[in-house]
Amino acid sequence: MLLEALRLALSTVFRNKLRSFLTVLGIVIGVASVIAMVTVGQGSTAQVQSDVASLGSNLLMIRPGAPGRGPGGGSNDAAPLTLADMQALLRYVPDIVAATPSSSRSQTVVFGEMNHTVQVTGTDDAYFGIRGWTLGFGRIFSDGEMRIGTPVCILGTTTSAALIGEGNPVGTTIRVGKISCEVIGLLAKREASTFGQDDNDIIVMPLKAFQRRISGNKNVQSISVTFRDGVRAEDVTVQIQSLMRERRKLTGDQSDDFNVFDMKQISSVLTGITGVLTGLLSAVAAISLLVGGIGIMNIMLVSVTERTREIGIRMAVGATESQVLMQFLVEAIVLSLIGGILGIFLGLGLGALGSYALNIGFLPDYRIVVASFIFSAVVGVVFGYFPARRAARLDPIEALRHQ
Amino acid sequence: MTAAAAPMLELRHLSKIYGVDEAKVYALDDVNLTVQKGEFIAVMGPSGSGKSSAMNILGCLDTPTSGQYLLFGTDVTGLDRDQRALLRRYFLGFIFQGFNLLARTTALENVELPLIYQGIPADERRERSMDALTKVGLQGRADHRPSELSGGQQQRVAIARAIVTKPGLILADEPTGNLDSARGREIMELLVQLNREEGLSVLMVTHEPDMADYANRIVTFVDGKIQSDKVRDRHAA
C-alpha cells in the first residue's frame, strides 16, 4: 500500500513538473544555503586551525603597543622593540627555547620585466624553525650575512613563480625596493594561508639588511618565541611580561605598552567567530526552509481542493481515512525530499564554488547532508500533515458531489 | 436461495433527519425494505423524496438517524467511518451518474483502483481488471484515458470498476442520466446481463420509467416513505 502511495505520489509530482518545481524551490534554496554555509564555514574553520598549526606549536609573539589591539595593531607610539630585547628574553626566561625577531614592510620587487608587490620580512635563521618553514632549494643565511647585513633573500613559491616563473630561482638577482638582492633559497610550498593571505607570497632577508636598506631604522616589529613543552603559555607570558616591564621601565601603576599574543588563543577566538557566523547564517537559511515548508503546505491544500472528487471516488471504492491521509502525506514528503535532494546538490556545488573563491579547502560534511535530508522529510511530514488530514476527513458524499 | 438465509439487505424503521427542532426535515421516515440476493431493483421517486438519502445509507456513505440497517444479517448501523470504508471495499460497488472516473489514469487503472485498496498484487489486479473490462466489452480500450472514451464507454469502465471486486451489491445512482437513450439502453442491458449471468444484485436510482422497466422490482419513494413496492416481470431485454 505504501508502495502504491509512493508510485501515485511520484506520478502526481511529475505530472505537474513546473508546479512541483516551484513548490519545492523554497526547500531547495533553504537546504542549499544551509549546506553551502556549513561547508564554507567548516572549510574556513579547518583553515584557521591548519594556519595556526603551521605557525608552530608553543608560539608566543611580542609586539609593542598597548594590549587589546590585536596582532595587526600597527602604528602606535609605544617604544619599539630591539634585538637586545630578544637577547634578554633568551637569557632571562629559561622556558624560552628559541626566539626570532622580525620586521616587515610591503615592497615592490622587480625581476626583468616582471614586478610584484610582496611583504618583505627581515629576520634571522631561527625564523624558519619557529614559523615552521622548510627550504625547497638553496640555503639559509650564513652568520656572516647576518652580521654584515648582506642583501640576500629567500623567496616563497608564489613570489618566485610571479617573478621568475616555475623552477629553481637560486642564483638570480632581483630588485627589492631600491636594492639588488641575490636569491639564495626557495621556501617549500606550504598549503596553509594565514587567514586568507597566501603564506607562500613572501620574501625573507637578514634583519640587518632589512633595517639598513629598507626600513632605515634599528627597530624590531615583533619577537616570536617558542617555549619548552609541558610549560603553560600563561606562565611563560607572565615571565615575559615581568621582564619586558623591567626593560621598558614601567612602574607599578603603569599599564603594559607591549603585547604578548598566544597564537593558539587567537586561533580559538577566530574559530569561535567563524563558528558563530556559520551558525547565524545557517539559522537564517533554516528560516527559508520553514518558508519552503509553508509553500508545500499551501500547494498541498490547493491540491486537496482540486482533487476533492478524486478523494471521494477513492473513498467510495473503499479507501480508509488513513489511506487517504497516507497518500497526501507521502506526496508532501516526496515533494520535500525532491527539494531536499536538489538542495543538497546545489548546496554542495555552491559550497565548492565558495571554497574555491575564498581559497579554502572544500570540506563537505556528510552529517549535514544526512541532516538536511532528514530535515526535508520532517518538513514534508509537518507541513503535509494538515492538508492530508483535511483530505482524509472529507465527507465522501460531499466529495463526490464536488465539481 | 433458501428461505432460511438472511436477506442480503434489510432496513428496519430507518429514519434520516436533517436539522433540529422546528427545522427538522425527515429525509427518510420509518422506511422498511428487504432486498434478496440477485434482485434488480429500481428506486424511483420525485427529487427530495429521500431516494438519494436511502442510497447513501445503503452505500455505507452515510449513517441513519435512527433504525437499523442489516447487511447479510449483520447490523452495520453503528459502524465508524473506517469500518464502513471496508464494507464498501469488499461488498459494494458504485456506479454514478457522472461516471466518476479518475481523469488522469487509463481505463485499466481506473478498474484496478478498488483492488489496490484490497491489497491485491499487481499481476492479479491486472488480470482481474482486464476480465472486468472484457465483460463490459471494452477489452480494446484498456489504455485509453476517460477523455478519449465516449460517455457510454466511460460508464462501462465505471461498471467494470464496480464489478471487479465481485461485490454483493451494485448501487447505481442514475447510471443513464448523462447518456442519450440509445446509450442508456445499452448500459441497462449490460446491467441486466450481469444481473442474470453473474447473479449480481443491483439497486438503481432512476427517474426514467423506461430505465426502471429493466428492473424486476420497482420501489417508489415519496416524502421519505416507500409509497409502492412492486415485483414485476422484467422488460424484454
pLDDT surpasses 70 at A73:
no
Q: Mean of the pLDDT values across residues A157-182?
A: 88
Q: How confident is the model at residue B174 (pLDDT cuts 50, 70, 90)?
A: very high
CB contact under 8 Å between A322 and B100, yes or no, is no
Which residues of chain B form beta strands (DSSP E)? 9-18, 25-35, 40-44, 66-71, 74-75, 92-95, 169-173, 201-205, 217-222, 225-231
In angstroms, the CA A344 to CA B70 distance is 57
Q: Which residues of B touch A323 (CB under 8 A)?
A: 117
Higher pLDDT, A393 or B6: A393
CB contact under 8 Å between A318 and B117, yes or no, is yes
Q: Mean of the pLDDT values across residues A49-55?
A: 70
Distances (CA, A) of A65 to A101, A243, A267: 16, 16, 21
pLDDT surpasses 90 at A277:
no
Q: How confident is the model at residue A290 (pLDDT cuts 50, 70, 90)?
A: confident
Backbone angles phi and psi of A72, in degrees to 5: -100, 25
Q: Please give, rounded to a whole number of angstroms, the shortest distance from the CA of B61 to a CA of chain A.
A: 7
Q: Mean of the pLDDT values across residues A388-395?
A: 94
Q: Name the residue facing A316 among B88, B104, B116 (closest C-beta).
A: B88
In angstroms, the CA A286 to CA A288 distance is 5
Q: Output the pLDDT for position B237.
A: 45
pLDDT surpasses 60 at B1:
no
Q: How confident is the model at residue A271 (pLDDT cuts 50, 70, 90)?
A: confident
Q: Output the pLDDT for position A269.
A: 79
Q: Tell me the average pLDDT of chain A.
A: 87
Q: Output the pLDDT for position B2.
A: 45
CB contact under 8 Å between B117 and A15, yes or no, is no
Dihedral sign of CA atoms A35, A36, A37, A39 in order: positive
| Residues pairing with B74 in the sheet | B71
Q: Tell me the average pLDDT of chain B.
A: 91
- Whether A397 contacts chain B with CB within 8 A: yes
Of A316-320, A323-327, B5-9, B69-73, the range with the lowest mean pLDDT is B5-9
Q: Output the pLDDT for position A192.
A: 57
- Whether A7 contacts chain B with CB within 8 A: no
Q: How confident is the model at residue A193 (pLDDT cuts 50, 70, 90)?
A: low
Burial class (CB in 10 A: 0-12, 13-18, 19+), A254: exposed
Higher pLDDT, A190 or B15: B15
Cβ-based contacts under 8 A for chains A and B: 56
Q: How confident is the model at residue A283 (pLDDT cuts 50, 70, 90)?
A: confident
State the angle between helix axes of A308-316 and B107-118 in degrees (0 to 180), rounded to the nearest 10: 60
Interface of A with B in 9-38 (CB under 8 A): 15
Q: Name the residue facing A313 among B81, B90, B102 (closest C-beta).
A: B102
Q: How confident is the model at residue A282 (pLDDT cuts 50, 70, 90)?
A: confident
Residues of chain A with pLDDT > 90: what percent? 37
Residues of chain B with pLDDT > 70: what percent? 96
pLDDT surpasses 90 at A70:
no
- Whether A317 contacts chain B with CB within 8 A: yes
Q: How confident is the model at residue B69 (pLDDT cuts 50, 70, 90)?
A: very high
Alpha helices in B20-167 (DSSP H): 51-58, 81-91, 107-118, 122-135, 151-163
- Whether A402 contacts chain B with CB within 8 A: no
pLDDT surpasses 50 at B3:
no
In angstroms, the CA A189 to CA A134 distance is 9
- What value, to the nearest 5°, has the Cα angle with vertex B113 and ends B139 and B134? 15
pLDDT surpasses 90 at A338:
yes
3-state helix, strand, coil in chain A (%, to 5): 55, 20, 25
Q: Which ipTM score applies to this complex?
A: 0.92
In angstroms, the CA A211 to CA A217 distance is 5
Q: Name the residue facing B117 among A310, A317, A397 (closest C-beta).
A: A317
Find the closest chain A residue to B162 by CA distance.
A317
pLDDT 10s digits, A83-135? 899 999 999 998 999 999 999 999 999 998 888 999 999 999 999 888 888 88
Q: Name the residue facing B94 among A309, A310, A316 (closest C-beta).
A: A316
Q: Please give, rounded to a whole number of angstroms, the shortest distance from the CA of B74 to a CA of chain A.
A: 19
Q: Which residues of B touch A314 (CB under 8 A)?
A: 113, 117
Q: Which residues of B touch A316 (CB under 8 A)?
A: 59, 61, 88, 94, 100
Q: Which residues of A touch B89 (CB under 8 A)?
A: 317-319
Q: How confident is the model at residue A40 (pLDDT cuts 50, 70, 90)?
A: confident
CB contact under 8 Å between B85 and A321, yes or no, is yes
Q: Please give, rounded to a whole number of angstroms, the shortest distance from the CA of A313 to a CA of chain B.
A: 7
Q: Which of B84, B90, B100, B125 to mutate to test the interface with A (most CBs of A within 10 A)?
A: B100
Q: Output the pLDDT for position A57.
A: 67
Higher pLDDT, A246 or A198: A246
**What DSSP character marks residue A220?**
B
Q: Please give, rounded to a whole number of angstroms, the shortest distance from the CA of B43 to a CA of chain A.
A: 19
Question: Chain B residues within 8 A (CB-CB) of chain A?
Answer: 56, 59, 61-62, 81-82, 85-86, 88-90, 94, 96, 100-102, 104, 113-114, 116-119, 161
**Residue whose C-alpha is closest to residue B15's, from B73, B78, B80, B64:** B64
Q: Which residues of A touch B94 (CB under 8 A)?
A: 316-317
- Whether A367 contacts chain B with CB within 8 A: no
**Residue whose C-alpha is closest to residue B208's, from B188, B223, B233:** B188
pLDDT surpasses 60 at A195:
no
pLDDT 10s digits, A217-264? 888 999 999 888 888 888 899 999 989 998 888 887 888 888 888 877
Find the closest chain A residue to B170 by CA distance.
A317
CB contact under 8 Å between A313 and B113, yes or no, is yes
Q: Which of A317, A320, A330 to mutate to test the interface with B (most CBs of B within 10 A)?
A: A317
Find the closest chain B residue to A7 by CA distance.
B116
- Whether A320 contacts chain B with CB within 8 A: yes
